[in-house]
Amino acid sequence: MKEPRYFEDFKVGEEFISSHFTFTPTDVIGFRRLYGGPLGSATADDLDPSRLSVDLTQLLPTSFRLFYDTGATVPCGRGSPGMNEVRYLNQVYSGDTIRVVAKVRELRPSSSSPQRGTAEIAFSVLNQRDEIVLSFLVLQLLGRRTPRPI
């Protein structure tokens, strides 16, 4: 088990690299059935499994999950007030494998809450050819080990 991390433990330039995830036709079809998307009455047998595109609305939460699984924000993660600069740069298809590289760009102690700070984290989602398929910035709220005096 990894040591618990807090705001004070993060460093600008630090990188977190996730495990890999391969999208299957069943993943893509199941997501479309639950959350919408072009499918109609087709089943996995009706579609070309190598040409099922992964929608941005599926790729983003998968990326978040891969990052979460690195343990980088356990137990200090306090949510996120938002994200910026979302760019879907290359199409992802069923059969493609992705991984996340998340790099800390900036750290700011909170001026209003001594119990936390904010990290700006740049996410790059890469495919099996190491091409960036998605990039975005996340503002991550992080708890502090020891609240600083105001």
Listing DSSP states for the chain in one string gives -PPPB-GGG--TT-EEE---EE--HHHHHHHHHHH--S-TT--GGGS-GGG-BPPHHHHHHHHHHHHHTTTTTTBTB---SEEEEEEE-S--BTT-EEEEEEEEEEEEE-SS-TTEEEEEEEEEEE-TTS-EEEEEEEEEEEE-SSPPP-
Q: 15-45 pLDDT, tens per residue?
A: 999 999 999 988 988 888 888 766 555 555 5
| Radius of gyration for the alpha carbons in the chain, expressed in angstroms and rounded | 18
Q: 87-98 pLDDT, tens per residue?
A: 999 999 999 999
Entry field: residues in the chain? 150
In order of their start, the domains of the chain are 7-143 (3.10.129.10)
- Prediction pTM value: 0.86
